[in-house]
Amino acid sequence: MSHEDWYRNTDWDALTEEAFRARLSRSRSTRPQYLHIQAGYLADRYPTAALQLIEEYFATGDDVHVPIALCTQARSYRTLGDVDGAIAAYKRALDWEEAHPNYISTARVDLPHLIAVKFITREYEYALDILTTRFKPMDHQFPSARYLWNGCCALIADALGRHADAREFAERALRAAAETESPFRYHRSVGVVRSTSDDFGRRVERLARP
């Protein structure tokens, strides 16, 4: 771990936490940022530790990174199998963003994705509303964004019996996944789809090619 990466630990044990907290104790104005960043690195493998750090982040009263922290909280709950907790955290992030339009997170796609892949039928209407109202044309410039947006729409439309719509969305998603360059001249690899081999990708492909 480099000197600059003391708050980006991917493993977590007593010694690592002790070292992290020693450095954290010397940080004042940047303490909230270090807490939520470190939590983000732990959410998928050490969700309980991540949740503790997120609670410490919220206790700082920071009002800049709130939606990102809530998304990390949601990921931690999801790792623990607490789908309802994850949904609630994502919804809090979206509510916060609605009241603070200059701040956005990944909640607007992460929550519909969770709802779609887990077949959470009671939340379909909410997910479709988010996908419809929270995205602007410029938000679809990256292939990965178009892939996820159309893929979520495809899975939900199919579950609702709108099979023709589902197929069209799925085909759009796969076209986006096939793109190999982003629209940015000097960052061609940013925002391209790395893999479609997960359950989400396989389901989207089945809808596009029944």
Mean pLDDT (whole number) for 188-201 = 90
Among the candidates 72, 105, 138, a domain finishes at: 105
96 with 161, same domain?
no
The reported pLDDT for the residue numbered 88 is: 98
94 with 125, same domain?
no
Number of domains in the chain: 2
The pTM assigned to this predicted structure is: 0.92
Mean pLDDT (whole number) for 194-198 = 94
**Rg from Cα positions in the chain:** 19
Among the candidates 55, 71, 105, a domain finishes at: 105
The reported pLDDT for the residue numbered 44 is: 98
46 with 120, same domain?
no
114 with 88, same domain?
no
CB 135 within 8 A of CB 97: no
What confidence tier does 102 reach under pLDDT thresholds 50, 70, 90?
Answer: confident
The reported pLDDT for the residue numbered 138 is: 83
82 with 64, same domain?
yes
65 with 111, same domain?
no
The reported pLDDT for the residue numbered 3 is: 60
The reported pLDDT for the residue numbered 209 is: 84
Mean pLDDT (whole number) for 13-29 = 94
SS (H, E, C) 41-88: HHCCCCHHHHHHHHHHHHHCCCCCCHHHHHHHHHHHHHHCCCHHHHHH
Give the chain's length.
Answer: 210
The reported pLDDT for the residue numbered 201 is: 97
- C-alpha 112/C-alpha 127 separation (Å) is 5
82 with 48, same domain?
yes
What confidence tier does 136 reach under pLDDT thresholds 50, 70, 90?
Answer: confident
Mean pLDDT (whole number) for 112-127 = 97
Does residue 170 have a pLDDT over 80?
A: yes
65 with 117, same domain?
no
55 with 130, same domain?
no
Among the candidates 78, 105, 132, a domain finishes at: 105
Mean pLDDT (whole number) for 110-138 = 96
Other CB atoms within a 10 A radius of the CB of residue 106 amount to: 16
Domain span at residue 15? Answer: 1-105
- C-alpha 105/C-alpha 12 separation (Å) is 25
Mean pLDDT (whole number) for 78-93 = 98
Does residue 1 have a pLDDT over 70?
A: no
164 with 138, same domain?
yes
96 with 115, same domain?
no
Predicted confidence (pLDDT) per residue in 55-82, tens digit: 999 999 999 999 999 999 999 999 999 9
At residue 132, what is the residue type? Answer: T
Q: Which residues contact 100 (CB under 8 A, 6 or more apart)?
A: 66
Give the three-state DSSP class for 192. Answer: coil
The reported pLDDT for the residue numbered 186 is: 62
The reported pLDDT for the residue numbered 112 is: 98
Mean per-residue pLDDT over the chain, rounded: 94
Does residue 43 have a pLDDT over 90?
A: yes
37 with 90, same domain?
yes
The reported pLDDT for the residue numbered 190 is: 79
CA 98 to chain CA centroid, Å, is 17
